[in-house]
């Protein structure tokens, strides 16, 4: 499933501006794309390269390597990290300390200093689908972060489906989940829904704000409404089971159509233009029933 | 399913904004939960560094405890590195010259903080608490102290993690999240810290 926009076996991380391995960025190797969520600590390639550099007593800094490149390749260091346009050239012999462009960028860094920078959204029949997030068929989302950790939550469709939740039950720190196992529980008016884990892993952080403010998840499902952080067990394998990018959009669109078919007799003919989905679908169509909605979608 | 257990410890200069430094031996799962919970709640990248021995000069033999103020200064002087903040985690009992024990301490707007797990394993009756409760306590203490290093004062709103907790009961009562006000303080403080760091880097680069 997770094929669109990602190379086979690659992991799309959140807020990683480029996919190039750090060794490729430093031009030590010609072509190498990160396939480990920039978690160099567990990367076999990184370990191998470090050993090789030690063995060959190579210790050139990145700027020394830059001077060895042809002049047309002497790009600004920020072009390499994605903070400046790719064709931005260095005009100051990599003396960044005196470069006004460098200083301007450094002054702007606070704009996206946290991992919680707002995601970019795609639109699936009015439901928000974030870029760089993976979506499980049970509407859990997974976002690969710094250090290879994975943040988990419930997507916009799922939140609108269950509407105003009264209570969250979160797993304990250290709990281990398998892919698609029930991971956290939300309840409304005494009825419960268990959300399936988008991937297998060990819980290493939970968002206790949801215990005091359960509406957080509904109001901001992909940022403040995060539920837990997982230390993944089989990251690469599990991500292949999830939707990503355009596939996520197609999946949520198909779910929206399936939902509409529960409400109206002839959904195929209802080609809507524009509009926003209701914030509380269960509350608006209680005749469908909680169990049916939850079983069908979550 | 076989679990590959890669240590989170980095054996290279940390690139995250916060470093968690084990002072003496601390179990890997405790470090992982502390680091990930800080990353999860504060939304800042966190690294765990290799274990560091406690300085003998900080040991108060008359009290069989370590002076937490000395430990903080030790971290600031020797293990600050490029990170914005450093959190020392120790299993040893810690105190300051006035208080008989502390769960943790930080200098407001400082570079380092220290938390101890020594008194977090027992209930008020002296019985062992569950692993879950123990981990939750460590996480709350860790996030609270890191919050102080970003100059966030004690808070009185709901169960905000920045609420003061002088006893285990009070530590158990609060939760591990920042209230909206403290979140705002944090965002501002992180922005300031990054601007200061980039100015210092520029100054160093220009010689």
**Taking CB atoms and an 8 Å limit, are A114 and B43 in contact across chains?**
yes
Q: Which two tokens stand for residue B168?
A: 């285990």
**Taking CB atoms and an 8 Å limit, are B198 and A151 in contact across chains?**
no
Distance between CA atoms of residues A213 and B22, nearest Å: 33
Contact B80, B57 (CB under 8 A): no
Distance between CA atoms of residues A142 and A125, nearest Å: 21
pLDDT greater than 90 at residue B192: no
Residue B146 three-state SS: helix
Residue B40: its chain A contacts at CB < 8 A? 149, 151, 204-207, 226, 228-229
Q: Which two tokens stand for residue A84?
A: 């400046």
Residue A13: its chain B contacts at CB < 8 A? none
Instruction: Write down the pLDDT at residue B19.
Output: 94
- Nearest-neighbour CA in chain B from A211: distance (Å): 9
Residue pLDDT, tens place only, A198-224: 999 999 999 999 999 999 999 999 999
Are residues A140 and A283 both part of a single domain?
yes
Among the ranges given (A70-79, B161-170, B194-203), the one the predictor scored with the smallest mean pLDDT? A70-79
Residue A103: its chain B contacts at CB < 8 A? 202
Mean pLDDT computed over B39-62: 94
Q: Which two tokens stand for residue A113?
A: 């200093």
Residue A106: its chain B contacts at CB < 8 A? 198, 201-202
Nearest to A173 among B132, B159, B205 (CB): B132
Instruction: Write down the pLDDT at residue A157.
Output: 97
Q: Which two tokens stand for residue B18?
A: 């916060």
Are residues A87 and A204 both part of a single domain?
no
Distance between CA atoms of residues B121 and A19, nearest Å: 43
In a domain, A55, yes or no: yes
**Taking CB atoms and an 8 Å limit, are A234 and B16 in contact across chains?**
no
Residue A95: its chain B contacts at CB < 8 A? 205
Residue pLDDT, tens place only, B4-25: 444 555 444 456 789 999 999 9
Are residues A55 and A130 both part of a single domain?
no
Q: Which two tokens stand for residue A183?
A: 């991971």
In a domain, A67, yes or no: yes
In a domain, A98, yes or no: yes
**Taking CB atoms and an 8 Å limit, are A146 and B45 in contact across chains?**
yes
- Residue A207 region by backbone torsions, left for phi larger than 0, else alpha for psi between -120 and 50, else beta: beta
Distance between CA atoms of residues A90 and B41, nearest Å: 38
Distance between CA atoms of residues A31 and B152, nearest Å: 45
Give me the residues of B, 63-102, that contact A with CB < 8 A.
none
pLDDT greater than 80 at residue A28: no
Which one of A83, A112, A141 terminates a domain? Answer: A112
Are residues A158 and A102 both part of a single domain?
no
Instruction: Write down the pLDDT at residue B173.
Output: 96
Instruction: Write down the pLDDT at residue A41.
Output: 62
Instruction: Write down the pLDDT at residue B1.
Output: 42
- Nearest-neighbour CA in chain A from B147: distance (Å): 15
Distance between CA atoms of residues B107 and B105, nearest Å: 7
* Domain range list for chain B: 18-205
CB-neighbour burial class of residue A61 (10 A; exposed 0-12, middle 13-18, buried 19+): exposed
Give the CATH architecture of domain B18-205: 3-Layer(aba) Sandwich (3.40)
**Taking CB atoms and an 8 Å limit, are A115 and B201 in contact across chains?**
no
Domain count, chain A: 2
Q: Within a 10 A sphere around the Cβ of A40, how many other Cβ atoms? A: 21
Radius of gyration of chain B (CA): 17
What does pLDDT average to over chain B? 90
| Residue in A204, A206, A234 to test binding to B, most B beta-carbons within 10 Å | A204
**Taking CB atoms and an 8 Å limit, are B8 and A200 in contact across chains?**
no
Distance between CA atoms of residues B35 and B181, nearest Å: 23
Contact with chain A for residue B201, Cβ under 8 A:
yes
Are residues A250 and A120 both part of a single domain?
yes
pLDDT greater than 50 at residue A36: yes
Contact B20, B104 (CB under 8 A): no
Distance between CA atoms of residues A48 and A37, nearest Å: 17
* Residue-range definition of the domain harbouring residue A35: 22-112
In a domain, A59, yes or no: yes
Angle at A195 between CA A232 and CA B6, to 5 degrees: 10
Q: Within a 10 A sphere around the Cβ of A109, how many other Cβ atoms? A: 14
Which residues have C-beta within 8 Å of that of residue A238, sequence separation ≥ 6? A179, A198, A199, A200, A232
Contact with chain A for residue B131, Cβ under 8 A:
yes
**Taking CB atoms and an 8 Å limit, are B8 and A41 in contact across chains?**
yes
User: Quick one: pLDDT band at residue A7, thresholds 50, 70, 90?
Assistant: very low
Distance between CA atoms of residues A47 and B56, nearest Å: 35
Mean pLDDT computed over B134-159: 96
CB-neighbour burial class of residue B142 (10 A; exposed 0-12, middle 13-18, buried 19+): buried
Tokens 């260095």 belong to: A90
User: Quick one: pLDDT band at residue B3, thresholds 50, 70, 90?
Assistant: very low
Strands B104-106 and A150-154 turn out to be unpaired
Are residues A34 and A156 both part of a single domain?
no
Instruction: Write down the pLDDT at residue A72.
Output: 64
Residue B37: its chain A contacts at CB < 8 A? 173, 204-205, 229
CB-neighbour burial class of residue B171 (10 A; exposed 0-12, middle 13-18, buried 19+): buried
Bridge partners of A157?
Answer: none
Residues of B with catalytic function: 145
In a domain, A129, yes or no: yes
Which one of A84, A112, A140 terminates a domain? Answer: A112
Residue pLDDT, tens place only, A133-153: 999 999 999 999 888 899 999
Tokens 């005494």 belong to: A190
Distance between CA atoms of residues B88 and B73, nearest Å: 11
Bridge partners of B52?
Answer: B23
Are residues A129 and A276 both part of a single domain?
yes
Sheet arrangement for strand A191-196: A167-169, A182-188, A191-196
Residue A144: its chain B contacts at CB < 8 A? none
Bridge partners of B102?
Answer: B94
Are residues A143 and A182 both part of a single domain?
yes
**Taking CB atoms and an 8 Å limit, are A114 and B190 in contact across chains?**
yes
Which residues have C-beta within 8 Å of that of residue B43, sequence separation ≥ 6? A114, A115, A116
- How far is residue B81 from each of residues A40, B137, B173, measured CA to CA in Å? 19, 27, 35
Are residues A136 and A282 both part of a single domain?
yes
- Please give the residue of chain B at the shortest CA–CA distance from A203: B33
Which residues have C-beta within 8 Å of that of residue A284, sequence separation ≥ 6? A163, A278
pLDDT greater than 90 at residue B185: yes
**Taking CB atoms and an 8 Å limit, are B46 and A114 in contact across chains?**
no
**Taking CB atoms and an 8 Å limit, are B46 and A151 in contact across chains?**
no
Q: What is the ipTM of this complex?
A: 0.88
In a domain, A262, yes or no: yes
Percent of chain A with pLDDT over 90: 47
Contact B111, B149 (CB under 8 A): yes
Which one of A92, A112, A132 terminates a domain? Answer: A112
Q: Which two tokens stand for residue A285?
A: 């169509």
Are residues A108 and A127 both part of a single domain?
no
Residue pLDDT, tens place only, B53-102: 999 999 999 999 999 999 999 999 998 778 899 999 999 999 999 999 99
CB contacts < 8 Å between A and B, how many? 124
Contact with chain A for residue B129, Cβ under 8 A:
no
pLDDT greater than 60 at residue A61: no
Residue pLDDT, tens place only, B147-163: 999 999 999 998 999 99
CATH of the domain at A173: 2.40.50.100
- Please give the residue of chain B at the shortest CA–CA distance from A174: B132
């Amino acid at each position: 499933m997770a094929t669109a926009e990602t190379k086979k076996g690659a992991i799309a991380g959140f807020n990683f501006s480029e996919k190039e391995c750090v060794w490729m960025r430093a031009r030590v190797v010609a072509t190498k794309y990160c396939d480990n969520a920039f978690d160099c600590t567990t990367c076999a390639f990184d370990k191998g390269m470090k050993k090789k550099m030690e063995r060959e007593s190579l210790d050139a800094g990145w700027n020394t390597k830059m001077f060895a490149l042809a002049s047309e390749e002497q790009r600004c260091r920020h072009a390499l990290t994605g903070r400046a346009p790719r064709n931005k050239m260095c005009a100051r012999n990599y003396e960044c300390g005196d470069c006004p462009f460098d200083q301007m960028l450094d002054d702007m860094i606070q704009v996206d200093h946290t991992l919680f920078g707002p995601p970019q959204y795609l639109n699936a029949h009015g439901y928000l689908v974030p870029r760089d997030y993976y979506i499980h068929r049970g509407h859990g989302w997974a976002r690969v972060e710094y250090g290879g950790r994975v943040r988990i939550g419930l997507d916009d469709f799922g939140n609108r489906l269950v509407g105003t939740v009264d209570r969250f039950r979160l797993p304990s720190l250290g709990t281990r989940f398998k892919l698609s196992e029930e991971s956290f529980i939300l309840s409304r008016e005494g009825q419960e829904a268990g959300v399936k884990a988008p991937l297998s892993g060990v819980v290493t952080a939970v968002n206790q704000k949801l215990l005091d403010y359960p509406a957080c998840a509904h109001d901001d499902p992909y940022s403040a409404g995060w539920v837990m952080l997982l230390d993944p067990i089989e990251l690469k394998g599990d991500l292949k089971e999830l939707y990503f990018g355009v596939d996520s959009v197609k999946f949520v669109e198909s779910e929206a159509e399936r939902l509409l078919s529960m409400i109206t007799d002839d959904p195929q003919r209802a080609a809507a233009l524009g509009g926003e989905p209701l914030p509380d679908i269960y509350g608006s169509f209680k005749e469908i029933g909680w169990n049916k909605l939850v079983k069908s979608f979550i | 399913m076989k679990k590959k257990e890669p240590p989170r410890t980095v054996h290279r200069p940390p690139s995250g904004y916060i470093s968690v430094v084990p002072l003496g031996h601390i179990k890997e799962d405790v470090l992982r939960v502390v680091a990930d919970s800080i990353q999860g709640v504060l939304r800042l990248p966190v690294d765990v560094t290799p274990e560091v021995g406690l300085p003998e000069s900080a040991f108060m033999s008359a009290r069989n405890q370590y002076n937490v103020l000395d430990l903080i200064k030790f971290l600031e002087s020797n293990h600050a590195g490029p990170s914005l903040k450093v959190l020392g985690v120790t299993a040893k009992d810690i105190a300051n010259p006035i208080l008989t024990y502390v769960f943790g301490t930080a200098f407001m707007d400082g570079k380092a903080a220290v938390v101890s797990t020594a008194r977090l394993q027992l209930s008020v009756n002296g019985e062992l608490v569950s692993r879950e409760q123990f981990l939750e306590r460590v996480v709350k203490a860790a996030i609270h102290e890191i919050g102080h290093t970003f100059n966030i004062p004690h808070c009185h709103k709901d169960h905000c993690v920045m609420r003061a907790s002088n006893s285990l009961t009070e530590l158990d009562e609060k939760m591990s999240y920042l209230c909206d006000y403290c979140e705002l303080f944090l965002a501002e403080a992180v922005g300031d810290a990054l601007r200061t760091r980039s100015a210092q880097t520029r100054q160093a680069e220009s010689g």
